[in-house]
Structure 1
Amino acid sequence: MFTGIIEAVGSITAIKHHAKDMTITVDSGDLDLSDVKLGDSISHNGVCLTVTRLEGNSYDVDISHETIKRSGFANIKNGFPVNLEKAMQVSSRFGGHIVSGHVDGVGEITSVTQVGSAIEYWIKAPDSLAKYIAEKGSISVDGISLTTNAIDGASFMLTIIPHTTSQTTMKHYQAGTLVNLEVDVVARYLERLLLGDKATNNHTEKESTMELLARSGFMG
């Protein structure tokens, strides 16, 4: 489990392709690895990966075919920057929101606009994720816990302060950049809960989120 508060930006220094998956080597940058051991989890651009080799400030992680298919790791190259966060401890300060490290889909930056000292980013999410994204709600973008400030269909807008931009991979974002998205886990569990008994049945048609809310008495 993670909080979406990025601890450091690392970089990929080697990529080994296997039949359908890959192993990457990561330079941890300023991330403190003194308390990291083999088998520990580290979030890489929002993807929870397990440390399989550890040497100095470098380590290896394996990336499965499923993760490659679901995330932006299909397009990585040597030198690719990655937002890093170690798995949270029970005693950790909870500064972001609950981030599982399981990417729901890949979004695309559609515009980057300077507004005062901040930067506005519009991101187009996959249509299937639109119902989970709410104005002023939480979303993880490349592992960063962020707040959506406007919604337009499956697109949403972020207003990012200079500190966040400078301390993460967001400083590299431009129109066309692909980013890993993880929606608020509460929204997913709420949808499943509202299904009730229907969650165990095979239906050819699914109720929309609005229909579920209305049927459950949340809408007049």
Structure 2
Amino acid sequence: MDQGLSHQIWQIFMQGRVGAVARCLHREGDKLPITEELLLITACGKDPQGCLSFLFYARPKETAASISSRVVQLAMMYGASSDVIEVLLTNCQRHVQFSEVTLDIMRTSVPDITESVRQTLKWKPDTLPATEEALEVLAGCLDAATLQSFLEARGAALEISQNTFNETSSREETFLTVVMWVFGNSVNTDIQFTSETALHCHDRVGCIDFVAQHWPEKLKLDGKGSLGTVQMDPVKSEND
């Protein structure tokens, strides 16, 4: 616990009642530091909107200065609502930078990562890393429209490998978004739809047909990825 935050003060902010928070701030005055921890427990309390609004009213400069990348990321992971995330992002004065590790943790712990990513793209798009690792994570958990927004915001700086392209093909909901972005821009000109890509696809025939219709020059299949093979995997008999 931070120096200056007594157990009683900690409990007041954790309970998140605006009246109690207001009385605490009035009583403690400048002796009470507005720390990252204080903001985090406020953001995850019972009335985060009300309490944060009062903090910005009573101590605007200190509150805004204490919003950090750590506060935003942990608030997301601990289940803060998208409205609270928006308040933190719009008032943050520091540079916020997520990592691929953060996104991967969010993917498994945030109730609605899509909405959190939407707010991030709206207010601080450069917070999201323009890396192939980030693309793999986001392609695995976002809806197609939000993934498209990520690619539009960060795609100019995003170079991906053939292997990453193959790995994103397993999720049908977002793979066509990746395909259209990769084959429709001039950043990743060496990427092709190969037999290895097809073997990862949930809907192999549908994806092959889509690429064949729009970018036939990108379709590079050998025997393993041919239409005849991907429609049905061989079934072994009991005697094999």
Q: Normalised by the size of structure 2, how large is the TM-score?
A: 0.23
Q: Which has the higher contact order (CA 8 A, sep 6+)?
A: 1
The structure whose residues are more often helix, as a share, is 2
Q: Normalised by the size of structure 1, how large is the TM-score?
A: 0.24
The structure whose residues are more often strand, as a share, is 1
Larger Rg: 2
